[in-house]
């Protein structure tokens, strides 16, 4: 199987690239002045202002005093995308049961364009979620490793190179070690992290595969001392049952069709 990479555009549109970079900068800064954003995007202050004014008119940017932030219009799009992926009806009951069984936070990561995206979560009675958020790409978590390990070696190398070059904000300090981890995931069938992405947090995950394509991964994450002392040896088997359940559910539905 190979990641579903989009083709390189023959004629990239600079304006579209700038708008995307503007959205990313606003998300990272949360609130920012025109001058800050102009410096971030290497644009003239007047040009940046015109971008912001246009986006403000369309509801994608909100101005608060002399600073700008992303608007709630994005929430409409996020809800629409999540709804039309169609995997959640198969995933939600399974990860909720898994959260109840383990008492920890359970995440479902979805694969899109090589990005393992945190799509849904369920909380057990002791679950901790402050270290991660829905919608964020997390290639270095156990779930991210479980997904990327499903690709051939040459694809893994290409994806890891792309992620480290294009998205240095993703935690992947030791690229060689990361690739070796993916090789061990292929052998064992599951992935782990121990204090690698967030200090004091560990995780275990298995991929969800359908028709020889990786759909995503189920991951249990929590405080290292608690997982190591209580669940660590049992988690691979427990999660295997959950991923198998999801795969069976997906066989009886078409996750590519909209779910209303």
The CATH number of the domain where 50 resides is what?
Answer: 1.10.10.10
**Res. 74: pLDDT tops 70:** yes
CB 65 within 8 A of CB 58: no
Overall number of domains in the chain: 2
Assess whether 216 and 118 both reside in one domain. Answer: yes
What's the CATH code of the domain at 114?
A: 3.30.450.40
Q: Which range (61-70, 127-136, 228-237) has the least confidence?
A: 127-136
117-170 pLDDT per residue, tens: 888 999 999 887 766 778 777 778 899 899 988 888 887 877 777 777 666 655
Measure CA of the first residue to CA of the last residue in the chain; give whole Å.
Answer: 29
**Res. 31: pLDDT tops 70:** yes
Q: How confident is the model at residue 259 (pLDDT cuts 50, 70, 90)?
A: very low
Q: What average pLDDT does the structure give for the chain?
A: 84
Assess whether 54 and 115 both reside in one domain. Answer: no
**Res. 249: pLDDT tops 70:** yes
Q: How confident is the model at residue 221 (pLDDT cuts 50, 70, 90)?
A: very high
Q: Does residue 5 fall inside a structural domain?
A: no
**Res. 15: pLDDT tops 50:** yes
**Res. 255: pLDDT tops 50:** no
| Rounded average pLDDT over 202-226 | 92
| Rounded average pLDDT over 212-241 | 92
Element (H, E) at 191: strand 191-194
- Domain extent, residue 247, equals 78-251
Q: Does residue 2 fall inside a structural domain?
A: no
CB 107 within 8 A of CB 121: yes
User: What residues have CB less than 8 Å from 124, skipping those under 6 apart?
Assistant: 99, 100, 101, 102, 103, 104, 105, 106
Q: Give the pair of three-digit tokens for residue 218.
A: 């189920």
Assess whether 18 and 94 both reside in one domain. Answer: no
Separation of alpha carbons 248 and 215, rounded Å: 13
Separation of alpha carbons 5 and 137, rounded Å: 15
């Amino acid at each position: 199987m190979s990641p579903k990479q989009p083709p390189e555009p023959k004629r990239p549109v600079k304006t579209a690239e700038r708008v995307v970079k503007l959205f990313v900068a606003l998300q990272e800064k949360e609130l920012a002045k025109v001058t800050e954003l102009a410096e971030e995007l290497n644009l003239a202050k007047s040009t940046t202002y015109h971008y912001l004014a246009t986006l403000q008119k369309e509801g994608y940017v909100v101005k608060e005093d002399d600073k700008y932030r992303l608007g709630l219009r994005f929430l409409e799009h996020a809800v629409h995308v999540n709804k039309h992926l169609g995997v959640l009806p198969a995933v939600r009951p399974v990860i909720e049961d898994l959260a109840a069984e383990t008492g920890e936070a359970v995440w479902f990561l979805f694969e899109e364009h090589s990005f393992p995206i945190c799509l849904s979560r369920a909380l057990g009675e002791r679950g901790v979620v402050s270290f991660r958020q829905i919608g964020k790409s997390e290639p270095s978590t156990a779930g991210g490793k479980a997904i990327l390990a499903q690709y051939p070696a040459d694809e893994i190398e290409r994806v890891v190179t792309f992620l480290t070059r294009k998205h240095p904000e993703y935690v992947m300090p030791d690229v060689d070690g990361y690739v070796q981890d993916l090789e061990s995931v292929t052998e064992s069938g599951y992935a782990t992290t121990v204090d690698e992405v967030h200090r004091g947090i560990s995780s275990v995950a298995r991929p969800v595969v359908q028709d020889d394509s990786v759909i995503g991964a189920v991951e249990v994450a929590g405080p290292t001392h608690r997982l190591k002392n209580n669940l660590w040896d049992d988690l691979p088997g427990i999660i295997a049952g959950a991923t198998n359940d999801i795969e069976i559910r997906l066989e009886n539905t078409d996750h590519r069709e909209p779910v209303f």
